Structures are given as C-alpha cells and as structure tokens.
C-alpha cells in the first residue's frame, strides 16, 4: 500500500495523484494509469493531437491544452495532480568525455554538441544525460544524451499549470518503449543479462537501430528514409535493402522490429528481413492485433486498441528499472527558486488553508518542543528503571551460575560411576532388530510345500534355532540350503535329521506306500546351547502337562 492510500484511509487527503500523458504520433495525446502490481491498465483514454514530424514538436500547444483538459474531465482525474509527460524523441546520441569533467562542464559540452543539429540551431535545447552502464575506459567515460526543445517543455508546463496540474517529469519515447518492453514481458528473452539484440524502430521519417546487451544500450544509429514517397511493397524492399548493410555492423542474437507508423507492418517487414539470429516484431500501430497488457472494465474496448508502448512505458513509472533514463524537466526555464515568503497550500482532510513559511516554522518549533517533553521524561525515568532491572538481573545470573556449577558436579559424578555409550547401545539394538527381521524374511521365503516349521527362535545375539517336520528328506535339504543362502553370515548347520517314530518296532513296520515324516533341527548354536535351550523348553512343556487334563486334542502341524 502506497503513501497516498494510507493518507486517504486516514482521511487526510493524501498526496497528489500521479497521471501519465504521452504525445504519440499516429495516436494523439494519451492519458494512462497503470496498476503496476496487477500488470494491467486501470485507466486510459486519448484525444487526436497533430504532431509536426519535420520540426519534431506539437503542432499547437492550445490543442494540447484542450485535449489534456478533456481527458482529465472524461476520466474524472482530480485537479492539482502530478503529471509525467512522454514526448517523441528529437535527438539521441553518445559521447566520450574525460572522467574528471564536472557535471556542469559535461552539460555545457553536450549542449555544444547538440546545438550542431539543425533543429537546435533555431531553438535552445533542454539536454538530459546519464552515464553508460557499460562502464568507463581509461580516463574517459561514455555518456548517453538526449535533447528536446526547451520552449516545448516550457509550453507544456505552462499549459498544464493553467489547468491546475503540476508537471513533475518529461521523458522521451525511446526509453519509454524500452520500459514497456520490459514491463509487459514482450522482450523478456532479449533483455536477459549478456544477450545481444537489436531494436529496430520504424517511424514516418525512417528507421533507427538501437543495439543492446540485455537492458544496456551499446550503440545507436538513425537512418532517414522518405517512407511516404514509396507505394505498396516498395517500402519493405527499401527498408530491407538499407538496413541489411547497417545490421552487418551490429551482429546480435535477436532483431526486434517495432513499427510506430501505419504505413509499415512490422510483421510483414520481419518476413522480408534476412539476418542472422531470431527476428521478433510488434506492431505499435493500426496493424496491432492484441494489447500487450490487460485492461480494466473502465476502459472502452475500442479505445483500448489505441494504447501505445510509449504510453505503457511512461505509465509504468518507477516500477521498471532501466539503466538509461532521462528527465528534461530539470533543464526547463520554469525551474527557479521560489519566493521564501510565499505561502503554501495545506490540505488536512476536508480542511484547506494557506500558511506562510515563518508561521510554519513557528508551529514546527512548538510541535518539536511538545514532542521533546515525553522524550526528556523517558531519558530521566529509563535510567532509574534500568538500574533496578540490572540489580534483579545480576541476582538471577548469580543463582544461574550456582545452578550450572551444581549440574556440572552431578554430571561428573555420574560419568565416573557409569561410562554409558548411548550411541553404541543404539547401534547394537538396531543391529539385533535387523538380524531378527532378516531371519523372519528368510524363513518366510524358504519353506517348501511339504515342510512344516514347528519351532523357531531368533535371539538378540544372532543365534537361530529352527525345528520342523517334512514328508521327505529332499525338502529338508532344500529348506536348509535356502536358509543358508539367505542368511550368509549366520553359519547355519543341520543339527538333527531323523525319522519321526515312537518306537523301533514302529520304524521297522513302516509301510513304504505310506508317507513318512522326518523331523529336523537347523541352528547356528553350539551343542551345549541347543541342549540348554531344549531342556528349558522341555521343563516348560512338563509344567504345562502337569496342569493339563488327561485327554488332549492331537497337536496340529503349523506350516
């Protein structure tokens, strides 16, 4: 939320609303307000306005004033707004000057350079310049400069002042178009860092080529061409033939063509251009198909088709950071020193009044004294409170030190009594659990169809004991082999394999046509461990039998 919105919610009238105007040849005078956060146009309209392409100036300042007044009225823009105006570029260039040259001397040198142009031999220039973002070389620095007739800036400022509007900035079309390409994302791929590309602008006077790396301008070239003298497709052939030679001096990965005149379609020209690299285009004229930004419902659909890149660029304001920026207002003759005794107007909500600088100074002095009273009180009271709190803090810190010393003593005594390694114990338990889990998995995957496991134990130390029955010896050996292959490091052995009978007589009289059960035991325990385990199991079994009834159901085999 900006400052104006906050002040508006507090009912204080806030600061002045910022409105953007663009003098756009082929469209007229555009008024635009852009929602930077939503990347959309929230307010727009235009009025026809004649622009003299030969003299590079507005044909009639009175028509400009009337068009601006109609736009403010139509869009219900509050008076006393701040306005930034975009004007068509009149002159642009670059120059290398010594680093030690002061700003005043730089402006004077560039003004002398600009005055060599035929336009500024009649009118005094308003010059604006900035350093190249590509850095400096040796004892010189590269500067980019632009110039507009100072009388044009003064006339626009006076016309808007008569409408109650405050002119706060004047920009030019080249930088506004670059800002629009960045703000809308139309040249997002080209404006990436270290990407070389050429921007070709077509207007009624000819074309210009601006060579860039990312957002930084490297070179600029302008070629006059009497576009109006050509008919039909002749203009495309003429531009192509002329630009081919120029573009050879500016090799790049992309060529971006923008046409601002209705006499040339950027799309058709892009198909005629034979250059190395990718060719992109945008028709900033009647050939335009879609708007580069969505518009609000407040904007008439037929009107929105006229929105130019220049209007979007100047309307984006400071939301786009470009290395090259100009403001010609600082060179205007209207920028002077105000009368120190002249009263200024103040708005507080619904209250409006004028106040002189002396009165304002006295009021600010009284307010400052009143504001200092609680500050002085704080300086007197805070040290007293701080001293009390410091005493309490020292007492707490003393008790804390005693407690920490006691904790340390107890920990040292416990370490002497029990050297317990928690990490080693955790690893040991995790190892046992993993060994057991592998045993269960191997057991489940290794049991043949005609084999029953009647007893299984897996101890924490990796000891395993398996007992069971089978109808044939082959399945027992198969089961034993599978278990050994699954549990490689357990060193399993076949401890027991015998025919399952109750007596010698029964073993002798066994019918060969009937299936015979064999019982087995597989283990990695020693004989003493097996015997100890068996005796413990037998004791538990005898204890259970003593408490059981005489008649029991036969024990079922569990597979």
Distance between CA 371 and CA 374 in Å, rounded?
6
Query: Do 393 and 486 sit in the same domain of this protein?
Result: no
Cβ-Cβ contacts under 8 Å for 415 (sequence gap 6 or more): none
Q: Is residue 476 part of a domain?
A: yes
DSSP assignment string, 389-442: HHHHHHHHHHHHHHHHHHHHHHHHHHHHH----HHHHHHHHHHHHHHHHHHHHH
User: In 10 A of CB 532, how many CB atoms?
Assistant: 12
Distance between CA 272 and CA 274 in Å, rounded?
6
Whether the Cβ atoms of residue 236 and residue 200 lie closer than 8 Å to each other: no
| pLDDT value, residue 346 | 53
Q: Is residue 109 part of a domain?
A: yes
Query: What number of residues does the chain have?
Result: 559
How many domains is the chain partitioned into structurally? 4
* CA 78 to chain CA mean position, Å: 35
Q: Is residue 93 part of a domain?
A: yes
- Alpha helices of 185-289 — where are they, by DSSP H? 234-248, 266-272
| pLDDT value, residue 537 | 62
Query: Do 285 and 302 sit in the same domain of this protein?
Result: no
Query: Do 36 and 124 sit in the same domain of this protein?
Result: yes
Q: Which domain holds residue 473?
A: 428-541
| pLDDT value, residue 1 | 40
Query: Do 149 and 19 sit in the same domain of this protein?
Result: yes
Q: Is residue 546 part of a domain?
A: no
Whether the Cβ atoms of residue 214 and residue 193 lie closer than 8 Å to each other: yes
Q: What is the pLDDT of residues 251-300, one digit of tens each?
A: 899 999 999 999 999 999 999 888 888 999 999 999 998 888 999 988 88
Q: Is residue 457 part of a domain?
A: yes
56: left (phi over 0), alpha (psi -120 to 50) or beta: left
Last residue of one domain, picked from the residues 364, 389, 419? 419
Query: Do 172 and 56 sit in the same domain of this protein?
Result: yes
| pLDDT value, residue 540 | 55
With vertex at residue 219, the alpha carbon angle to CA 194 and CA 119, rounded to the nearest 5 degrees, is 150
Query: Do 529 and 487 sit in the same domain of this protein?
Result: yes
Query: Do 277 and 305 sit in the same domain of this protein?
Result: no
Q: Is the pTM of this model over 0.85?
A: no
Distance between CA 98 and CA 142 in Å, rounded?
9
Query: Do 136 and 50 sit in the same domain of this protein?
Result: yes
Query: Do 483 and 515 sit in the same domain of this protein?
Result: yes
Enumerate residue ranges in the chain where pLDDT < 50: 1-14, 332-345, 350-354, 544-559
Q: 196-203 and 254-259: which strand pairing?
A: parallel
Whether the Cβ atoms of residue 85 and residue 58 lie closer than 8 Å to each other: no
| pLDDT value, residue 545 | 43
Last residue of one domain, picked from the residues 385, 419, 453? 419
User: In 10 A of CB 268, how many CB atoms?
Assistant: 16
- C-alpha torsion sign, points 213, 215, 221, 225: positive
Q: Which helix (H) or strand (E) holds 47?
A: strand 40-47
Q: Which helix (H) or strand (E) holds 532?
A: helix 527-547
* CA 61 to chain CA mean position, Å: 44
Q: What is the CA radius of gyration of the chain?
A: 47
Q: Is residue 549 part of a domain?
A: no
Distance between CA 191 and CA 182 in Å, rounded?
7
Structure tokens given for 117? 């142009």
Q: What is the pLDDT of residues 412-461, one digit of tens each?
A: 877 766 655 556 655 665 555 666 777 777 777 778 878 888 888 888 77
Q: Is residue 555 part of a domain?
A: no
Last residue of one domain, picked from the residues 401, 419, 437? 419
Residue 492 burial (10 A CB sphere; 0-12, 13-18, 19+): buried
Query: Do 113 and 218 sit in the same domain of this protein?
Result: no
CATH number for position 521: 3.30.70
CATH number for position 220: 3.30.420.40
Query: Do 143 and 155 sit in the same domain of this protein?
Result: yes
Which of 62, 2, 60, 74 has the alpha carbon at shortest distance from 31?
Answer: 74
Whether the Cβ atoms of residue 467 and residue 454 lie closer than 8 Å to each other: yes
Cβ-Cβ contacts under 8 Å for 516 (sequence gap 6 or more): 471, 499, 500, 510
Query: Do 247 and 152 sit in the same domain of this protein?
Result: no
Distance between CA 384 and CA 372 in Å, rounded?
19
Structure tokens given for 465? 């004991």
């Amino acid at each position: 939320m900006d400052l104006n919105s906050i002040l508006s919610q507090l009912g204080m009238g806030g600061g002045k609303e910022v409105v953007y105007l663009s003098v756009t040849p082929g469209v007229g005078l555009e008024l635009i307000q852009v929602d930077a956060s939503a990347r959309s146009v929230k307010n727009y309209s235009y009025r026809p306005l004649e622009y003299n392409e030969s003299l590079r100036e507005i044909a009639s300042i009175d028509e400009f004033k009337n068009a601006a007044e109609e736009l403010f009225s139509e869009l219900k823009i509050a008076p006393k707004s701040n306005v930034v105006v975009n004007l068509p570029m009149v002159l642009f260039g670059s120059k290398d000057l010594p680093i030690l040259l002061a700003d005043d001397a730089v402006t004077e040198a560039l003004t002398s350079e600009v005055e060599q142009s035929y336009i500024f031999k009649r009118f005094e220039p308003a010059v604006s310049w900035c350093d190249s973002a590509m850095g400096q070389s040796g004892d010189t620095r590269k500067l980019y400069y632009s110039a507009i007739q100072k009388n044009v800036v003064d006339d626009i400022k006076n016309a808007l002042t008569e409408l109650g509007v405050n002119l706060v900035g004047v920009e030019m079309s080249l930088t506004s178009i670059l800002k629009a390409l960045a703000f809308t994302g139309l040249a997002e791929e080209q404006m990436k860092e270290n990407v070389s590309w050429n921007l070709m602008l077509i207007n009624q006077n000819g074309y210009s080529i601006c060579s860039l790396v990312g957002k930084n301008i490297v070179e600029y070239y302008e070629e006059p061409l009497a576009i109006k003298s050509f008919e039909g497709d002749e203009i495309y052939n003429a531009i192509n033939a002329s630009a081919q030679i120029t573009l050879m001096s500016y090799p790049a990965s992309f060529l971006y063509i923008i046409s601002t005149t209705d006499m040339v379609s950027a799309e058709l020209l892009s198909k005629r251009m034979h250059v190395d690299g990718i060719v992109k285009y945008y028709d900033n004229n009647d050939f335009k198909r879609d708007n580069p930004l969505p518009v609000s419902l407040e904007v008439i659909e037929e009107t929105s088709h006229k929105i130019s890149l220049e209007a979007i660029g100047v309307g984006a304001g400071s939301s786009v950071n470009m290395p090259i920026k100009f403001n010609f207002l600082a060179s205007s003759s209207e920028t002077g020193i105000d009368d120190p005794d002249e009263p200024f107007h103040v708005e507080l909500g619904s209250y409006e009044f004028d106040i002189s600088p002396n009165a304002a100074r006295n009021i600010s002095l009284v307010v400052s004294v009143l504001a200092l009273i609680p500050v002085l009180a704080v300086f007197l009271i805070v040290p007293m409170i701080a001293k009390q709190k410091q005493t309490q803090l020292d007492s707490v810190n003393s008790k804390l030190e005693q407690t920490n010393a006691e904790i340390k003593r107890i920990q040292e005594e416990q370490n002497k009594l029990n050297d317990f390694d928690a990490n080693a114990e955790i690893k040991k338990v995790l190892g046992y659990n993993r060994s057991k889990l592998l045993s269960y998995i191997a057991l489940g995957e290794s049991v043949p169809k005609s084999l029953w496991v009647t007893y299984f134990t897996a101890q924490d130390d990796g000891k395993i004991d398996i007992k069971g029955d089978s109808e044939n010896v082959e399945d027992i050996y198969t089961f034993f082999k599978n278990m050994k292959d699954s549990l490689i490091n357990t060193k399993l052995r076949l401890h027991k394999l015998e025919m399952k009978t109750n007596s010698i007589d029964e073993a002798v009289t066994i019918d060969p046509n009937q299936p015979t059960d064999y019982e087995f035991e597989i283990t990695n325990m020693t004989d003493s461990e097996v015997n100890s385990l068996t005796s413990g199991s037998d004791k538990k079994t005898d204890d259970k039998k003593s408490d059981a009834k005489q008649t029991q159901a036969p024990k079922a085999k569990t597979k």
